[in-house]
Structure 1
Amino acid sequence: MHYQITLAREVFCEGVGLHSGKPATVKILPAPENTGIVFIRTDLTDRPRIEAVAENVTTTLRATTISKGNIRIFTIEHLLSALHVYGVDNCYIEVNGEEPPVQDGCSAYFFAVLQKAGKKIQNKFRKEVVIDKIYRIDDGERFIIALPYDKFRISFTSLNEHPLIGTQYADFIVTEDVYAKDIAPARTIAYEKEIKHLQDMGLGLGGSLENVIVYNDAGWINKLRFNDELVRHKILDVIGDLRLTGGIVKGHFIAVKSGHQLNTELAKEIRQGGC
């Protein structure tokens, strides 16, 4: 048994939102036992709260969005990913708009900020999300499976028709050290031909070569951090989306071409399964 954990002190982040393109600030604060992860919209007068759990997911187009009524917060997966691996059970996340800052398109910045804040051990035991049976979410082309396992492991296969990318596979037993070195620095990705269409849809308005890896038919426009950076970022996203189970997860997750929709459906299925 492990005790619940919150942050030892509050921390602050600022930047622009990846999709909104608007200035964004986030304050992450300690919270009492059994609070979970709760987002708070500080730009609204009644400061509405949205708990980061799978049943509050409303949209998964290019990002994970949680909502309460007509109040939403989107692109939460990178921050949730860092919180998940750092082992934070309880915190408040105050956001001054609909989207946290993207920083440099990964979760390394958030993870470093959390490490700077430090951990505070609380007085109640953690309710771990332990996978004790097989779960599978499948749409005929893509799937994600959860299997019992005594650690937190993710095996991901990414299939991309572009010859520059092709098939990428990565498999990690996720620990704080592995995450900081091999997963957290992996950035989000975009195909140059898609960018205008995305922006016409109101997406990617805060994207730049500072926070997105962009490729075209000739090659990579910016320098990669890893040869397989795409699949590592996919794993980063899975870790964030699985935090929507409501706790720190233990199990082996095997995915092929999975994205936010399947990831969050799996998180919801696990919650309904009583793990």
Structure 2
Amino acid sequence: MHQRTVAKAVTYTGIGLHSGQDVTITINPAPPGTGIVFSRIDLPGKPQVAAIAGNVTNAMRATTLENGLAKVFTVEHLLAAFYALEIDNCLVEIDAAEPPVADGSSLPFVKMIQEAGAVEQNVLRKLVTIKKAQIVRADDKFITILPYDGFRITFTSINPHPMLGVQFGDYEINQDVFIREIAPARTIGFMHEVEALKAQGLALGGSLENAVVYDNEKALTPLRFEDELVRHKILDIIGDLVLAGRIKGHVIAVKSSHALNTALAKEIVEHI
């Protein structure tokens, strides 16, 4: 299989989930071997940061990438779309630190990439084949990856909320499955967390239009799937693990988070 990039530039404008700032992103074609690179066009010199595991500096509530003055965060939904639609190389121009939240899912980014189209390039794609099990643990949470001929994610979510409880998802990830079953799943939030998050400078752009919000008893937002939470957790894993490359392996996780996901991405890179 050859590497691919987008066929033309496409622009999208919205607000950042955590920053609450207006932001515009443009996805641009890029040469073979570029990978996914973010360019902060709002800063002098348009500094760039590559979407690689070694550039992860924070994983609280979202994944942050930094290289010098170039910093971007909450990039996982966009990165998951690039992975699923098999885009290896792209220059993402962004005029703030955080991409638009859109509707809280990956679907708007899928549509953006579909609008741009894709072109095959004259360099072969490199695959990261998992040859032995690797695991990251933290308290009652873990994420592991096993050798597997494909890319499969098995996730168990355990949440004390009466409407959530235990949710289980198991998907062989390919483009069709991602677009139909995973990409539409939105970020989950809880009313009791909102004030605390905003005090930390997080969720400033969150609303019922771009997240599934629960109060103590029920969802305040109509669900797209009964198990939307676990599907979104799988979406996050895809976006975080692509930081290690295009992986062949079976991911099994229980209550995993961006912190564990990105730690596993770094472990994978160390063992390549």
TM-score, scaled to structure 1: 0.97
Shift of 1:70: 4.5
The answer to whether structure 1 residue 269 and structure 2 residue 267 are counterparts is yes
CA contact (8 A) 1:87 1:248 kept: no
Task: State the alpha-carbon separation in 1 of the partners of residues 32 and 204 from structure 2.
Answer: 37
The answer to whether structure 1 residue 56 and structure 2 residue 55 are counterparts is yes
Look up the SS of the partner of 1:243 in the other structure: helix
Q: Deviations over 1:141-182 (max 9, x none)?
A: 111111111111100000001121100000000111111111
Shift of 1:43: 0.0
CA contact (8 A) 2:136 2:263 kept: yes
Where do 1:1-275 residues align within 5 Å? 2-245=1-244, 247-274=245-272
Q: Deviations over 1:41-68 (max 9, x none)?
A: 0001110000100111011111000011
Task: State the alpha-carbon separation in 1 of the partners of residues 116 and 243 from structure 2.
Answer: 22
Unaligned runs of 5+ in 1: none
Q: Deviations over 1:113-158 (max 9, x none)?
A: 1112111110111111111111111113111111111111100000
Shift of 1:259: 0.6
TM-score, scaled to structure 2: 0.98
Task: State the alpha-carbon separation in 2 of the partners of residues 158 and 138 from structure 1.
Answer: 15
CA contact (8 A) 1:214 1:221 kept: yes
After superposing on structure 2, the runs of 4+ consecutive aligned residues of structure 1 that deviate more than 3 Å are: none
Q: Which amino acid aligns with 1:58?
A: T
Unaligned runs of 5+ in 2: none
Look up the SS of the partner of 1:80 in the other structure: helix
Task: State the alpha-carbon separation in 2 of the partners of residues 102 and 155 from structure 1.
Answer: 25
Q: Deviations over 1:58-82 (max 9, x none)?
A: 1111100001134311100000010
Task: State the alpha-carbon separation in 1 of the partners of residues 69 and 121 from structure 2.
Answer: 34
Q: Which amino acid aligns with 2:257?
A: G
What is the RMSD of the two structures over their aligned residues, measured on CA atoms?
0.8
Identity %: 51
Look up the SS of the partner of 1:35 in the other structure: coil
Task: State the alpha-carbon separation in 2 of the partners of residues 139 and 174 from structure 1.
Answer: 26
CA contact (8 A) 1:27 1:93 kept: yes
Task: State the alpha-carbon separation in 1 of the partners of residues 70 and 149 from structure 2.
Answer: 38
The alignment covers a number of residue pairs equal to 272
Q: Deviations over 1:70-107 (max 9, x none)?
A: 43111000000100111111110100010100000000
Task: State the alpha-carbon separation in 1 of the partners of residues 230 and 115 from structure 2.
Answer: 27
